[in-house]
Amino acid sequence: MAIYDIRTFGDPVLRQRAADIEDVDAALVRLADDMIETMYEAPGVGLAAPQVGVQRRLFVYDVGDGPGIVLNPRIAESSGEWTYEEGCLSIPGLSWEVIRPKQVRLIGTDLDGNDIDIDADELLARCFQHEIDHLEGVLLVERLDEEQRKDAMRILRGRALDLPAGERIGQATAQSSQGH
């Protein structure tokens, strides 16, 4: 097992759409294991492949019921509304109240090629939506309202000017508690 550095805001890899996964090979299985390890180390409740610099449609999660791995995920249905203080491991130390659908139905496959079909609610549903955003190159800051976003950009621009990259990564480990 290996721990990846988690890419942070400003890294262009976080802004690109990840590619569909056609074949599962040993390298992909190892990647998934290492992503789970990296997620626990951070610690966070979800981690998408672009956050470790890999442009493939895969994420891992654990909201307290054990780890899961989903390939080529998509939201088939969503309903309701839920407000939650949402953070992101790629935007360490910050979080915002964000409204998103409360329930989602997630479709995808596992590492063995079996279909995954999960009806998720609240935190798990939020995690799935957040990770799929990462696979589309969409960051949490794009889900904020105008005022939140202005605040966020001011803080993030300040960080980019003040801190070398190494310190930003150190801060991620120290401050993130509910990141994705």
Q: Does 144 bind Zn ion (CB under 5 A)?
A: no
CA 23 to chain centre: 22
Cβ closer to Zn ion: 28 or 47?
47
Contact status, residue 169 vs residue 82, Cβ threshold 8 Å: no
Per rule CB under 5 A, count of chain residues that contact Zn ion: 2
- Considering the complex, state which of residue 50 and residue 108 has its C-beta at the smaller distance from Zn ion: 50
Q: Compare residues 24 and 155 and give the one whose CB is closer to Zn ion.
A: 155
- Choosing from 85, 122, 131, 167, the catalytic residue is 131
Cα-trace Rg, the chain: 15
Which is nearer to Zn ion, 90 or 115 (by Cβ)? 90
Query: What is the nearest approach in angstroms of Zn ion to the Cβ of residue 41?
Result: 15
- For residue 180, state whether it binds Zn ion (rule: CB under 5 A): yes
State yes or no: is 131 an active-site residue.
yes
Binding mask 80-99 for Zn ion (x = CB under 5 A): --------x-----------
Min CB(14)–Zn ion separation in Å: 9
Q: Does 104 bind Zn ion (CB under 5 A)?
A: no
Binding site for Zn ion (CB under 5 A): 88, 180
Q: Which residues are part of the catalytic machinery?
A: 131
